[in-house]
Amino acid sequence: MRTLITFLLLTLTQILLGQTVISGNVMDEKKQPIQGANVFLDGTYDGTSSDVNGNFKFLTSVKGIQVLKITFLSYEAVEHKLTIENYQEQTFVLRESVNSLDAVIINAGMLQAGDKARVSVLKPLDIVTTAGSAGDIVSALQTLPGTQMVGESGRLFVRGGESDETQTFVDGLRVAQPYGASANNVPTRGRFSPFLFSGISFSTGGFSAEYGEALSSVLLLNTIDEPVQEQTDISLMTVGLGLSTTKKWNKSSLSINTAYIDLAPYQIAIPQAVDWNRPFQSLSGEAVYRYQFEQGLLKVYTAFDASRFDLNQENLNSQVKDRVDLNNNNLYFNAVYKGFLVNNWQLIAGASYGLGQNKIDLNQDDINNEEDALHLKMKVFSKLTNRFKVSFGADYFLTQFDESYSPFQQSRLTISYNSEIGAVYSEVDYFFSKKLAFNLGIRASNNAMLEVSSVSPRASVAYKTGKFNQFSFAYGNFEQAPRQDYLKFSNQFGTEKTQHFILNFTFAKEGTTLRAEVYYKKYKDLVKYDTETPIFSSDYSNSGFGYAKGLDVFWREDSRIKNLEYWISYSFIDTQRDYRNYLQEATPSFVAKHTASVVTKYWISTLRSQLGVTYNFNSGRPYENPNTEGFLNEKTKSFSNINLGWAYLLSPQKILYFSMSNVLGTKNVFGYEYSNTANQQGMFPSRAIIPTASRFVFVGFFWTISADKKTNQLDNL
Amino acid sequence: MKKLILTLVVVFAVFSAQSQNQYEQGMNKAFALWKEGNPTEAVALFERIASAEKNNWLPNYYVAFVNITTAFQVMNDNEQLTPLLNKAQETLDMELIKDPNNAELLVLQALIYTAWISSDPMKNGMKLSGKVMELYSKAEKLAPNNPRVVFGKAEFEIGGARYFKQDTSAMCGQIDKAIALFSTFKPESVFHPNWGLDRALEAQKKCAKK
């Protein structure tokens, strides 16, 4: 018995006193010693910090298999499994964290705004504090390089592409009808109020394999995951009323945003160049519901908007004006679940449904159409290590289109089609180091209606050349089914295709961002037809082609002059295409060779006011003049305007906002329309396409009610 | 047999006392290092204590707190500030997952956001000030008599009110209340959070000037 006790005591003492020396060295990837790294055995008190030479040494009394942990600010932690008894002095190399702020980013083609972006060109506030944007997300994006200002349309035209070459996604799901209804040459607005979105990524090319059915560009809008607080916002404007409110519960929250817009009172006050029978009127509502599960988040977004207007448009081909009476109903619904599966794998699954209904009375003809668009999406992804990410996904798009056309005193014609597109994709992201990273992707897609399949590779690489600057390059093949206007008459098409090459240089230092990009985009298999407008009897083909190349420059500076923020965008583009019913390769009428914007915001502290001034310029746009030789070779005079916005904080939660577009009253011309027939002198009479109003004045009062008594709508103006 | 059990008990007691001692020694040493102006070493030691005391939130609390305090001293140097606040956030997250209703942890979260706001008000002000208020309101519900909660909230509100030249007397009243609470506040142990009185007194002086 006694021997046993003695033995036990001895062993215990040994355990208590028998200490082992753990020593070694810590250095970085360049073999420089790291001072101050925290070196310790996980789960014990035993450890120390490395000295000036990176050396460490400490005693431990624990035995057996342990984990030696080394941590140091901005470096990846090392966890080294060892057996204390067999430990030999070692050197540990710490790698700089690729998550750190100054790691390289793959950003060719990408313009980001909002919270999560590391190099963001727009801050969350800017999306809408930009003078002249009047709260329209698309208008704010038009001050960024790579876009064209097409005033008579209001849509996004990217790098020589048509507006429908940009696909819009909310939380990763397609929005089939992103714009409000409009008549010829009366600009439209995007459907989405900035109120519900926390981040915007706008790609002008070379985007990820996750997104398809877009030839030029994708616009990715993300709804807020978790609202900050309960609040109610009330807006009283010269053009209508708005009310939005957010409620929060333990695990869920709901935000609702409604607006009623009516241009009738405004029209009476300041007559416009449009001959309205009933000025534009719309009622819209949006809601986001979020539910936080243990391992995931469900977001349900829905938007409804009903609008109508009735106007008379001059027609050069007849003595009387054309009457356009339009009623548009739009419903968009989207549900997305994002959550953790097993072992670091995450899942995104969602569905979106868009319903667009138009009832158009064109003089005495009636057109009714309806588009039902469904998108199902599933994606799984994992960060296998800090440096290696993979993802797989699938998309299914279903579009049903029906139209009935009843010409005056004639029998009704009906058209319909059903388009089904399925796609799968996969992507890998790999960081070689903090300086070098690449992304490879592939997307395979099948269009059942057109009976065509294709495979599109995408690749990008980024290399950091200095502390604040980097280069990145992107390449990709993109495709898109032809637009509704053609599909409703024929299905004898292939998909339209583009190929992008983009080289990007980014310099980003605190308060200063410079981004310069050169690109080359090749178009092929564009749809051509041989009639005035696409009709049943047109002869269609995929024989169109074209190219676009250019330079986009963006400069932003926030810190040099106190309270002043500004950015300057410049785009140069050289593009020609032979598509639609073009007689030859030519620059389309929506393209201006030079486009520039200067956006400034100045905070006047003593007046508690933010003053915003935006200057837009573009060189002349081509138009076709049948009175002269050649095709699309006349040019309009250049376009310019100055917009002003002034937000005054009456109190922390009450804002008075005033804005005026085209302050100088510059007479701008977007293009010219010509009559189909020559007059007696053999000339085709023409008419200039001009802005609907030379100036637009807007006054609003915005009131926020919230518990913190601080938040206001300044960022939504 | 009795002897054996007794011996084992004694040995075990010594063992656990030693571990208890190690905790106290470690914490004391870390506080000393911090006071001596060596926050990096202090953080390293707190981090090691945290690794051994997985069920005690205090060591990680101080890893976060020391980093936040250091961050406030390098406000204009974004390159230093960002890793400090990220580290503070990472560490705080580990504890908030275990106990999302710890008012002291919520105060630290509010401080991290306040630091981001001060470093770039234009960029972070709108986004985070609502969150800060929400955190203080939640903390207030959980611990209405915690002086750091009362003071933190009043101090945050007062900045905005001064800017709009609004009446600050209500907030100054809250600061007075916080000071009274500081004098009656009994931390659970010597290592539990017990800071803030000096800052509250300074804020009181500012209030008196007006």
Task: State the SS3 of chain B.
Answer: CHHHHHHHHHHHHHHHHHHHHHHHHHHHHHHHHHHCCCHHHHHHHHHHHHHHCCCCCHHHHHHHHHHHHHHHHCCCCHHHHHHHHHHHHHHHHHHHHHCCCCHHHHHHHHHHHHHHHHHCHHHHHHHHHHHHHHHHHHHHHHCCCCHHHHHHHHHHHHHHHHHCCCCCHHHHHHHHHHHHHHHHCCCCCCCCCCCCHHHHHHHHHHHHHC
Average pLDDT over residues A302-330: 89
- Inter-chain residue contact A125 with B126, CB threshold 8 Å: yes
pLDDT of A125 over the 70 cut: no
- More confident call, A259 vs B57: B57
Q: How far apart are the first and last CA of chain A?
A: 87
Do strands A166-170 and A217-223 pair parallel, antiparallel, or not at all (unpaired)?
parallel
What integer pLDDT is reported at residue A571 of this predicted model? 97
In a domain, A99, yes or no: no
Which of A12, A228, A608 lies closest to B11 in CB terms?
A12
User: For A450-480, how does the pLDDT look when each residue is reduced to its tens digit (9 = 90+)?
Assistant: 999 999 999 999 999 988 899 999 999 999 9
Map residue A96 onto helix, strand or coil. strand
Comparing C-alpha atoms, which of A345, A330, A336 is closest to residue A392? Answer: A345
8 Å CB contact between A623 and A590: no
The CA distance from B16 to B21, in Å, is 8
Instruction: Tell me, yes or no, whether A148 and A46 share the same domain.
Output: no
Residues 6+ apart with CB under 8 A from A647: A129, A609, A610, A612, A655, A656, A657, A714, A717
Tell which of A40, A61, A94 closes a domain: A94
Minimal-distance CA residue of chain A relative to B18? A16
Q: Which residues of A touch B43 (CB under 8 A)?
A: 38
What integer pLDDT is reported at residue A676 of this predicted model? 85
What integer pLDDT is reported at residue A717 of this predicted model? 47
Which of B41, B157, B160 lies closest to A49 in CB terms?
B41
Minimal-distance CA residue of chain A relative to B14? A16
Average pLDDT over residues A159-173: 94
Give the best-scoring range by mean pLDDT among A117-126, A229-238, A358-367, A523-532: A523-532
Alpha-carbon distance B146 to nearest alpha carbon in chain A (angstroms): 20
A42–B contact, CB cutoff 8 A = yes
Q: Which residues of B touch A74 (CB under 8 A)?
A: 83
A535–B contact, CB cutoff 8 A = no
Interface of B with A in 41-80 (CB under 8 A): 41, 43-44, 47-49, 51-52, 54, 78-79
Query: Which of A74-78, A158-162, A269-273, A365-369 bottoms out in mean pLDDT, i.e. has the lowest?
Result: A269-273
Average pLDDT over residues A114-137: 64
B127–A contact, CB cutoff 8 A = yes
Do strands A436-447 and A671-674 pair parallel, antiparallel, or not at all (unpaired)?
unpaired
For A529-653, strand residue ranges (E) read 541-557, 564-578, 594-604, 609-618, 622-623, 634-635, 639-651
- Inter-chain residue contact B44 with A608, CB threshold 8 Å: no
DSSP A364-398: TEEEEEEEEEEEEEEEEEEEEETTEEEEEEEEEEE
Query: Which of A227-231, A455-459, A636-640 bottoms out in mean pLDDT, i.e. has the lowest?
Result: A227-231
| Tokens 């995408």 found at | A458
What integer pLDDT is reported at residue B167 of this predicted model? 81
Alpha-carbon distance A5 to nearest alpha carbon in chain B (angstroms): 6
Query: Which of A116-120, A367-371, A432-436, A552-556 bottoms out in mean pLDDT, i.e. has the lowest?
Result: A116-120
Instruction: Tell me, yes or no, whether A381 and A410 share the same domain.
Output: yes
Tell which of A70, A94, A118 closes a domain: A94
Comparing C-alpha atoms, which of A699, A698, A615, A592 is closest to residue A662? Answer: A615
Residue span(s) of chain B under CATH 1.25.40.10 come to: 21-143
Which of A40, A45, A231 lies closest to B22 in CB terms?
A45
Query: Which of A43-57, A235-249, A331-345, B158-172 bottoms out in mean pLDDT, i.e. has the lowest?
Result: B158-172
Which of B54, B127, B134 lies closest to A115 in CB terms?
B127
The CA distance from A349 to A356, in Å, is 24
pLDDT of A100 over the 70 cut: no
- Inter-chain residue contact B4 with A74, CB threshold 8 Å: no
- Inter-chain residue contact A714 with B4, CB threshold 8 Å: no
Average pLDDT over residues A29-46: 91
Instruction: Tell me, yes or no, whether A150 and A271 share the same domain.
Output: yes
Give the best-scoring range by mean pLDDT among A3-17, A51-65, B15-29: A51-65
Q: Which residues of A touch B7 (CB under 8 A)?
A: 5, 8-9
- Inter-chain residue contact B133 with A715, CB threshold 8 Å: no
A71–B contact, CB cutoff 8 A = yes
What integer pLDDT is reported at residue A569 of this predicted model? 95
Comparing C-alpha atoms, which of A317, A413, A303 is closest to residue A363? Answer: A317
Map residue A708 onto helix, strand or coil. coil
8 Å CB contact between A138 and A150: no
The CA distance from B168 to B183, in Å, is 23
Query: Which of A9-18, A145-154, A482-491, A670-679 bottoms out in mean pLDDT, i.e. has the lowest?
Result: A9-18
What integer pLDDT is reported at residue A120 of this predicted model? 66
What integer pLDDT is reported at residue A672 of this predicted model? 92
H/E element, A17 = helix A2-17
- More confident call, A179 vs B17: A179
Minimal-distance CA residue of chain A relative to B125? A711
A69–B contact, CB cutoff 8 A = yes
In a domain, A682, yes or no: yes
Helix ranges (H only) for A381-537 are 484-487
What's A688's domain CATH number? 2.40.170.20
In a domain, A401, yes or no: yes
What integer pLDDT is reported at residue B128 of this predicted model? 83
8 Å CB contact between A239 and A262: yes
What integer pLDDT is reported at residue A716 of this predicted model? 47
Average pLDDT over residues A381-405: 93
pLDDT of A355 over the 90 cut: yes
- Inter-chain residue contact A565 with B122, CB threshold 8 Å: yes
What integer pLDDT is reported at residue A442 of this predicted model? 97
User: For A640-694, how does the pLDDT look when each residue is reduced to its tens digit (9 = 90+)?
Assistant: 999 998 988 887 778 888 888 889 989 999 999 898 888 888 889 888 888 877 7
The CA distance from A276 to A261, in Å, is 16
What integer pLDDT is reported at residue B42 of this predicted model? 93
What's A17's domain CATH number? 2.60.40.10
Q: Which residues of B touch A709 (CB under 8 A)?
A: 157
In a domain, A44, yes or no: yes
8 Å CB contact between A634 and A615: no
Query: Which of A218-222, A265-269, A537-541, B45-49 bottoms out in mean pLDDT, i.e. has the lowest?
Result: A265-269
Phi, psi of A254 (to 5 degrees): -140, 130
- Inter-chain residue contact B51 with A74, CB threshold 8 Å: no
The pair of three-digit structure tokens given for residue A551, joined into one six-digit string: 């330079």
Average pLDDT over residues B131-151: 92
In a domain, A102, yes or no: no
What integer pLDDT is reported at residue A278 of this predicted model? 87
The CA distance from B146 to B132, in Å, is 17
**CATH class assigned to B21-143:** mainly alpha
Q: Which residues of A touch B127 (CB under 8 A)?
A: 115, 124, 228
For the entire predicted model, the pTM comes to 0.82
Residue B107 — pLDDT band, cuts 50, 70, 90? Answer: very high
In a domain, A100, yes or no: no
8 Å CB contact between A68 and A56: no
Comparing C-alpha atoms, which of A482, A479, A474, A440 is closest to residue A456? Answer: A479
Return the DSSP state at A75: B
Average pLDDT over residues B30-48: 92
For A643, half-sphere exposure in the C-beta direction (CA atoms, 13 angstrom radius) is 26
In a domain, A473, yes or no: yes
Q: Which residues of B touch A706 (CB under 8 A)?
A: 130
What integer pLDDT is reported at residue A266 of this predicted model? 78
A557–B contact, CB cutoff 8 A = no
What is the pLDDT of chain A when averaged over all its residues? 88
What integer pLDDT is reported at residue A16 of this predicted model? 55
Residue A201 — pLDDT band, cuts 50, 70, 90? Answer: confident
Average pLDDT over residues A334-338: 96
Phi, psi of A613 (to 5 degrees): -130, 130
- Inter-chain residue contact B48 with A45, CB threshold 8 Å: yes
pLDDT of A115 over the 60 cut: no
Residue A347 — pLDDT band, cuts 50, 70, 90? Answer: very high
The CA distance from A292 to A226, in Å, is 9
Instruction: Tell me, yes or no, whether A344 and A491 share the same domain.
Output: yes
In a domain, A264, yes or no: yes
The total domain count for chain A is 2
Q: What range does the domain containing A70 cover?
A: 2-94
What integer pLDDT is reported at residue A9 of this predicted model? 55
